[in-house]
Amino acid sequence: MSKEIFIDVNSDETRVAILEDGRLVEVYIENENISKTVGNIYVGKVSRVLPGMQAAFVDIGLSKNAFLYVRDAVCEDEYIKNPKGEFKISNILKAGQEIVVQVIKEEIGTKGARVTTHLTLPGRYLILLPTGDYIGISRRIEDEEIKEKLREEVLKVKPDNMGLIIRTIASIEDTHNFSDDVKFLTNLWSDILKKSKKGNVPRCIYKDMSAILKTVRDCFSLSIDKLTINNKEGYESILEFLEFTAPSLKHKVHYNCVDLFKKYDIDYYINQALNKKVWLKCGGYLIIEETEALTVIDVNTGKFIGKNDLEDTILKTNLEAVKEIAIQLRVRDIGGIVIVDFIDMKEDKHQNMLIDAMKEELKKDRTKTIVVGMTGLGLLEMTRKKIRKKLSSVLLSVCPNCKGTGKIKKSDSYDNTQSC
Contact, 261 vs 18, CB < 8 A?
no
Contact, 18 vs 219, CB < 8 A?
yes
Query: Residue 4's pLDDT is what?
Result: 95
Amino acid letter for position 324? E
> 49 exposed, middle or buried (CB, 10 Å; 0-12, 13-18, 19+)?
buried
* Beta strand segments in 108-162, E: 114-116, 121-122, 126-129, 135-137
d(CA 188, CA 159): 13
d(CA 280, CA 303): 10
Judged by DSSP in three states, 151 sits in helix
Per-residue model confidence as pLDDT tens digits over 34-90 = 668 899 999 999 999 999 999 999 999 998 999 999 999 988 767 666 766 678 899
Q: Which residue, 59, 181, 70, 203, is CA-closest to 122? A: 181
Query: Residue 417's pLDDT is what?
Result: 53
Query: Residue 5's pLDDT is what?
Result: 96
Query: Residue 310's pLDDT is what?
Result: 77
Contacts of 331 (CB under 8 A, 6+ apart): 24, 25, 26, 27, 269, 270, 273, 391
Q: Which of 85-88's residues contact partners 24+ apart within 8 Å by CB, and which partners?
A: 87/54, 88/51, 88/54
Query: Residue 83's pLDDT is what?
Result: 66
d(CA 241, CA 250): 10
Contact, 310 vs 343, CB < 8 A?
no
What CA dihedral angle connects 195, 196, 199 and 202, to 10 degrees? 130
Query: Residue 204's pLDDT is what?
Result: 94
What are the residue ranges in the chain where pLDDT is below 50?
none
* Beta strand segments in 240-293, E: 253-255, 277-279, 285-290
Judged by DSSP in three states, 319 sits in helix
Query: Residue 321's pLDDT is what?
Result: 94
Work out the angle between the directed axes of helices 211-219 and 232-245 (0-180°, nearest 10): 40
d(CA 412, CA 254): 60
d(CA 226, CA 367): 22
Judged by DSSP in three states, 263 sits in helix
Query: Residue 57's pLDDT is what?
Result: 96
Q: Which of 308-314's residues contact partners 24+ apart within 8 Å by CB, and which partners?
A: 311/345, 311/346, 311/347, 311/350, 314/343, 314/344, 314/345, 314/350
Work out the angle between the directed axes of helices 348-362 and 310-332 (0-180°, nearest 10): 20
